Structure 1
Amino acid sequence: MGSILRLALKGNYNRLFCTVVDNSRNIPHVPVMVNEVVKFLKLKPNEVVIDMTFGSGGHSRRILQEQPDVTVIAVDRDPLAYSFAQELAQEFPSRVVPLLGKFSDLPKLLQDNGYNRNSIDSILFDYGCSSMQFDLPHRGFSVSKNGPLDMRMDGTRDPAIPTAAEVLSNAPEEDLYKIIKYYGEEKQARKIARAIIESRYLFKKLTTTEELADLVETIVENKGDKKKHVATKTFQALRIFVNNELNEINYGLLLARHYLKIGGRLVTITFHSLEDTIVKRHLMGNVIENAANPLPLKFNSHNFNLDIQDVSKIMENNWKMLHKHVIVPSFDEVEDNNRSRSAKLRAAVKVK
């Protein structure tokens, strides 16, 4: 309880966040490992490529510029990203198909636009948050920018998805502990969960990113990377939980195999071990052991169903790796774009 009292004495719980002006149109976004992405996609004329995580469109733009006859299906669950995709479609007429939805929405989205199974040439996944989400305080993703604890990639589009603040206000301590431990890989998850509960009942519910960051900072000592805030793992955990990211990644990779042609290429970029583990297991044909969600998600109501009649087909290894070792950013890229430092790229071709 001492940590909560110290935090209250600091006056952190009396702070108010400022109204944020949406300057997203001016936010620079640097796509990660774009040269490597183009290399492994090996684009050919008249191909159809799905950019499953469009974001600000950096990868898609490079793909369109690299091969003049390629069509890009631009998918994103974020309405702001969708608006960027619509703008890109005006810039490249008849070559961009903007689609708004999650990975799990893909079957309906593709069906509505005339694309069937085994009809796609390449699929790109660039997991995690985009720069525009981190850089806009009112989205609630950033540990360093004060704003409401939201973290919904869909924005306000789906009222069934809880905000991070709602999770912190309603989840029992044991569930908070598991969320932070498993999704944030945070060693001090137990102490953080206890502090959140103490705050909820003794002072006030956490509603802003600054309040949560300050709370974690009072109880977690930074023994590792001094450049990384001690609350980074807690923020990651909440973001993954709120957006059901691991289940979406798992399901999205099943869909990739479903829609790619034989010989179609898959390129993934991951930013932490939870994402990368799911990708590796899919590429090795070890899908059943993909514990995409080790927690009972009582605050998240997503359920996925894929029309696969024979479960053994899921276990078949349909992929051939296009490289021997995982691809990481060059030293120069990390120097120019610090957010690329933890990225890992994997590429494979569908062989059956």
Structure 2
Amino acid sequence: MAFGRCVYLTLAPKRALTYTCLAKIREYVSESAVNTQRQIKCRIFRTTKTSVLSVITSKRLVHTTSHHGSSSPSNPGVPNISDAGNSPPDVEKLDQRVSHTPVMVSEVIDILQPKNGKLFIDMTFGAGGHTKAILRENPKARVVCLDRDPLAYNHAKELAKNYDPQQVLPCIGKFSELPDILCNHGISLGSVDGILFDVGASSMQFNSHERGFSLSSDGPLDMRMDQGRDPDGVSAQDVVNHLPASDLRDIIKTYGEDRMANKIAHTIVNARNVFGKITTTKELADIVETAFDGYIQKDKLGRYSHPATRTFQALRIFVNNELNEINNGLEAAFHYLRPGGVCVGISFQSLEDRIFKRHFHGIDVDEAKNKTARQQFRSVRDHHEKYSKDLIHSILKKKWIPIDKKTKTPSEAEIAENPRSRSAKLRAAIKSLEF
């Protein structure tokens, strides 16, 4: 649909790996609000209409007053870009403790090849490590700096002050909001030279105990990357205190890939029924640890790994709807890249990497396994459709041309200097000239 010079790209919401993320928890929160007199065997834990509605109301108030300057609701369809700088007070407190080391910077620059006038989108600005590297390589390059975190948005605004107007464009929003954001800045389809994804939580989020991402320090059980900017979002505390064991098991098994998912889920439910609401990261970590009976896990460097690591990962992915956002972000990236433009994806675990792999190799994210062209033809039931010229062309036509068949990984020197980079995988692809 066109409005003047601006073309809106509508992206249909798409599932990632056959799982939707947030609808179920919202459903349970709503049901809890209705069941005001629900009988719980343990007298310590009781969900009431007042308590649940107060949680939901407080979220909406934080959103409307912190980011829009008034208590009136905003238009949910279009993200507020210009006024998002009115960040919550806790964002300002965190500013002095921000530290982040970007991963595989030299590899990213080699692939993107920044030149004068080229336009790039940093989809995960964070502390700006990759954006600064692009601008160091070529001070005349233009970069759109996108992040859902208000703290990162503030850093992007500070960086923009050091460059010409419209050269560094700070934007706040999710990957799925990219079409509206670029439209607001007058950026049209097929005009971007390179797009970078560096997905997952950043070091500055892990290092801030107030955000609830880290196991190493105690803090509120939150994990929302946007710090409550989305009024319909839920926190990790909502998830562990409202979902039944079966759903917690599915979340931990699917997004954490933990073989102990069933036992962990029942341990969490039993603990909240006995001791009451789980509110801090330390409480959850201690509860999960009891499910392992002293079993010790180690990471890729042979160091001790806390048993709750995978559970925290699963909750973070679920709360932030990360896999669906990556999927929709890649769909948007394809449309905004010019033919021959480059897309780079850096991921830190297999679920994220799988989405990049499937997009770049032309495999639907919902397919159970990689299918050959012969298998795709066999899956078509209609005999006449099977031999259609258009169908054959669509199967053989490639949207992306992968730069490398295998993933790139950090060098040993980089891992020694920055241990958090040890799990990083980089995939890159060029948009086909046929599109």
Partner of 1:262: 339
The whole-number CA distance in structure 1 between the counterparts of 2:351 and 2:133 is 28
Deviation per CA, 1:219-275, whole angstroms, max 9, x where unpaired?
222244342211110000000000000000111111111110001001110000000
The SS at the match of 1:88 is helix
Deviation per CA, 1:30-70, whole angstroms, max 9, x where unpaired?
10000100001012210000000000000001101111211
Deviation per CA, 1:122-179, whole angstroms, max 9, x where unpaired?
0000000111100000000001111000000010211211100011111111100000
The whole-number CA distance in structure 2 between the counterparts of 1:30 and 1:81 is 14
Partner amino acid, structure 2, of 1:319: W
For the aligned residue pairs, the C-alpha RMSD in angstroms reads 2.0
**Structure with max Cα Rg:** 2
Partner of 2:114: 43
Partner of 1:146: 218
Partner of 2:183: 111
Partner of 1:27: 98
> Aligned runs of 1:56-95 on 2, under 5 Å?
56-94=127-165, 95=167
Is contact 1:123-1:256 (8 Å) kept? yes
The whole-number CA distance in structure 1 between the counterparts of 2:241 and 2:321 is 18
Partner of 1:247: 324
The whole-number CA distance in structure 2 between the counterparts of 1:92 and 1:82 is 16
The whole-number CA distance in structure 2 between the counterparts of 1:122 and 1:263 is 9
Partner of 2:8: none
Q: Is the aligned partner of 1:222 residue 2:296?
A: yes
Q: Is the aligned partner of 1:209 residue 2:276?
A: no
The whole-number CA distance in structure 1 between the counterparts of 2:266 and 2:319 is 20
Compared CA separation, residues 241 and 89, structure 1 to 2 (3 A):
same
Displacement of 1:204 in angstroms is: 1.4
Is contact 2:91-2:151 (8 Å) kept? no
Give TM-score scaled by structure 1 length.
Answer: 0.86
Displacement of 1:217 in angstroms is: 1.2
> Aligned runs of 1:185-200 on 2, under 5 Å?
185-200=257-272
The whole-number CA distance in structure 2 between the counterparts of 1:315 and 1:111 is 32
The SS at the match of 2:363 is coil
Match of 1:170 among 225, 230, 242: 242
* Between 221-230 and 70-79, the greater mean CA deviation after superposition: 221-230
Partner of 2:357: 280
The whole-number CA distance in structure 2 between the counterparts of 1:20 and 1:200 is 30
Give TM-score scaled by structure 2 length.
Answer: 0.70
Partner of 1:161: 233
Q: Is the aligned partner of 1:317 residue 2:317?
A: no
The whole-number CA distance in structure 2 between the counterparts of 1:85 and 1:290 is 38
Q: Is the aligned partner of 1:52 residue 2:123?
A: yes
The whole-number CA distance in structure 1 between the counterparts of 2:240 and 2:395 is 36
The whole-number CA distance in structure 1 between the counterparts of 2:260 and 2:198 is 29
Is contact 1:24-1:132 (8 Å) kept? no
The SS at the match of 1:99 is strand
Displacement of 1:314 in angstroms is: 10
Deviation per CA, 1:293-318, whole angstroms, max 9, x where unpaired?
xxxxxxxxxxxxxxxxx999799521
Unpaired runs of 5+ residues, structure 1, are 1-18, 292-309
Partner amino acid, structure 2, of 1:105: E
The whole-number CA distance in structure 2 between the counterparts of 1:143 and 1:30 is 20
Is contact 2:194-2:343 (8 Å) kept? yes
The whole-number CA distance in structure 2 between the counterparts of 1:154 and 1:20 is 11
% identity of equivalent residues? 52
Is contact 2:215-2:285 (8 Å) kept? yes
Is contact 2:98-2:127 (8 Å) kept? no
The whole-number CA distance in structure 2 between the counterparts of 1:333 and 1:187 is 31
Compared CA separation, residues 329 and 197, structure 1 to 2 (3 A):
same
Displacement of 1:324 in angstroms is: 3.6
Is contact 2:251-2:314 (8 Å) kept? yes
